[in-house]
Amino acid sequence: MIRSLLPDFDTLAVHAGRADFHALGVHAPPIDLSSTYPVPDPEQGTASYDAMAAGGTPQGSAIYARLHNPTVARAEQAVAELEGAEACVAFASGMAATTAILLAAAMHGRHVVAVRPLYGGTDHLLDSGLLPIDVTFAEPHEVAQAIRPDTGLVFIETPANPTLDLLDISAIVRDAGTVPVVVDSTFATPVLQQPLRHGATMVLHSATKFLGGHGDVVAGVVATSEVWARRLRQVRILTGGILHPLAAFLLLRGLPTLPMRVEHAQRTAGVLMERLAAHPMITGVHYPGHAGSDPTGLIGRQMAGPGTLIAFEVRGGVDAANALMRALTLITPAVSLGSTDTLIQHPAGLTHRLLDPAVREAEGITDGLLRLSVGLESAEALWRDLAAGLDAAEDVAEHTEGTLAMSSR
Ligand SMILES: *Cc1c(COP(=O)(O)O)cnc(C)c1O
């Protein structure tokens, strides 16, 4: 298994956003908590304000913390380097970042083409009517025909949440023509996938997940061209979704270990996937590394590896899935992912709850589907916990099946 499709991503992850440390005489990122900044020269202040209002960076004084913050700018610089982007804009959450992308794109065309499945919050936002956009949900092969003269954006997610379906980014970019494509690459991280290298215009991460990586920060980032970064900064100034500097510090703290965390958890995920697939209580496994899950060979071309998330279906539906989660003692039943510890959640009951049940069904988000975010514990400890959970699920499934058999007699 390869760690990254890029040469020496490990070194990049350790040093990104830190090039000025020697000159500054520091060894850890300085945190600037100022909410306002002195403007000693009024004319220069006006010039700096104008520069930022146009989406640029400050010329001298940063004026006010909703417009710019140096600690946030450092985290943005680091993520831009990891994604091979000109620029990055950081937001208070992944959803704040998504909202800013949709608002910025709507200035150029109000129609959005989105490919499901998507993160539950994204799907709900697109469908909610809250934003000044008109959304067409298309299958991957329908993107070209869904494009209209007023299409301002194509929105995709790969690997997708929670089914781990992969999309061919270059193929979608080709079908989108001149329309910008945004890729939610949260599940892949820049270690495994760099969408801009495949022609995407923007790459979005919920940095709450792997980039922060320790379950203690909520953040969203968009890596893109300077042209789009300016548009996003303009939206961020007006709507106020900038990341907090303490959160930016925690995000920076997570990045140097990102490649090692992803690689370690990915190795463990491979072991657990094999054992889950062979277990009689499991009726289906979704994992990009599972036999038949990557028919067009995107792993090795678009992704360096299959990642650290596994979705699986438990025999016995929601009752068995719940019994499994209740029996766990090491793995935490919780939403979110990409943390140091292993998390499990029930998409139909939590993250994808707000979706129309028919859409859930069509996307393969069944009532017995569980999503496991593999952390850094040992494979053996995790398997012991899962095996105990599967025993508990079996008791419930057998009881239910027994009851059904009796009632049909
Ligand atoms: C969590 C998540 C989001 C939303 O990010 P927040 O930081 O929770 O706002 C978007 N996309 C994906 C794939 C996610 O996992």
- pLDDT value of residue 15: 96
Q: Which residues pair with 202 in a beta bridge?
A: 182, 224
Query: Which of 57-61, 98-102, 287-291 has the highest average model confidence (pLDDT)?
Result: 98-102
- Secondary structure, 3-state, 27-71: CCCCCCCCCECCCCCHHHHHHHHHHHHCCCCCCCCCCECCCCCHH
How far is 43 from 261, CA to CA, in rounded Å? Answer: 48
Mean pLDDT of 309-321: 94
pLDDT of 359: 83
The answer to whether the Cα torsion of 93, 99, 104, 105 is positive or negative is positive
CA distance 342 to 378: 10
Predicted pLDDT at 404: 67
pLDDT in tens, 171-215: 999 999 999 999 999 999 999 999 999 999 999 999 999 999 999
Active-site residue (options: 3, 66, 197, 253): 66
Question: Which contiguous run of DSSP H or E holds residue 222?
Answer: strand 220-224
Question: What pLDDT does residue 226 have?
Answer: 98
Ligand 1: atom nearest CA of 338 is 15
Average pLDDT over residues 402-406: 69
Tell me the CA–centroid distance for residue 119 and ligand 1, in Å.
7
Quick check: 259 pLDDT over 90?
Answer: yes
DSSP bridge pairs for 371 = 311, 345
Secondary structure of 346-397 in HEC code, one letter for each residue: CCCCCCCCCCCHHHHHHCCCCCCEEEEECCCCCHHHHHHHHHHHHHHHHHHH
- Listing from the earlier edge strand, what are the strands of the sheet with 282-286? 282-286, 309-314, 369-373, 343-345, 332-333
pLDDT at 19 over 50: yes
Domains of the chain listed by start with CATH number? 9-257 (3.40.640.10), 258-407 (3.90.1150.10)
Burial class (CB in 10 A: 0-12, 13-18, 19+), 153: buried
- The SS3 call for residue 137 is strand
- Of 18, 116, 209, 360, the catalytic one is 209
**Residue in the block written with tokens 């794109």:** 105
Angle, CA of 91, 94 and 95, to the nearest 5°: 100
Amino acid at position 129, single letter: G
Is residue 129 classed as helix, strand or coil in its secondary structure?
Answer: coil
Q: What does the alpha-carbon distance between residue 213 and residue 260 come to, in Å, rounded to a whole number? A: 11
Q: Which residue has the tokens 């996937």?
A: 273
pLDDT at 4 over 70: no
Give the separation between CA 227 and CA 234, rounded to whole angstroms. 11
Angle, helix 379-407 to helix 317-327, in steps of 10 degrees:
140
Summary mean pLDDT of the chain: 94
- Going from the Cα of 95 to the center of ligand 1, the distance in angstroms, rounded, reads 6
pLDDT for residue 1: 46
Average pLDDT of the segment spanning 72-85: 98
Percent of the chain residues past pLDDT 70, beyond the cut: 97
How do 343-345 and 332-333 pair as beta strands?
parallel
> For a substitution probing ligand 1, which of 164, 209, 243, 373 has the most ligand atoms within 8 Å of its CB?
209
Compute CA 57 distance to the chain's CA centroid, rounded to the nearest angstrom. Answer: 26
Q: Inform me whether the pLDDT recorded for 405 exceeds 80.
A: no
pLDDT tens digits along 131-175 = 999 999 999 999 999 999 999 999 999 999 888 999 999 999 999
Please choose from 182, 184, 206 the residue to mutate so as to test ligand 1's pocket, defined by most ligand atoms within 8 A of CB: 206
Does the active-site annotation cover 18? no
Share of the chain above pLDDT 90, in %: 88
Residues 321-350 pLDDT 10s? 999 999 999 999 999 999 999 999 998 888
User: In a mutational test of the pocket of ligand 1, which residue from 119, 345, 363 has the highest number of ligand atoms less than 8 Å from its CB?
Assistant: 119
**Roughly how many angstroms between the first and final C-alpha of the chain, as a whole number?**
52
114: number of CA atoms within 13 Å, CB side?
Answer: 24
Degrees (nearest 5) of the Cα angle 132, 136, 141?
Answer: 145
Average pLDDT over residues 297-301: 95
> Given a cut of 90, is residue 403 above it in pLDDT?
no
Query: How many angstroms is it from 280 CA to the middle of ligand 1?
Result: 32
Could you tell me if the CB of 209 is within 6 A of ligand 1?
yes
pLDDT in the model for residue 161: 86
Confidence category of residue 408, pLDDT binned at 50, 70, 90: low
Q: Is the pLDDT score of 3 beyond 60?
A: no
Burial class of residue 44 (count of CB atoms within 10 Å of its CB; 0-12, 13-18, 19+):
middle
The answer to whether 294 touches 172, Cβ cutoff 8 Å, is no
Active site annotation includes 10: no
Rounded to an integer, the average pLDDT of 289-306 is 94
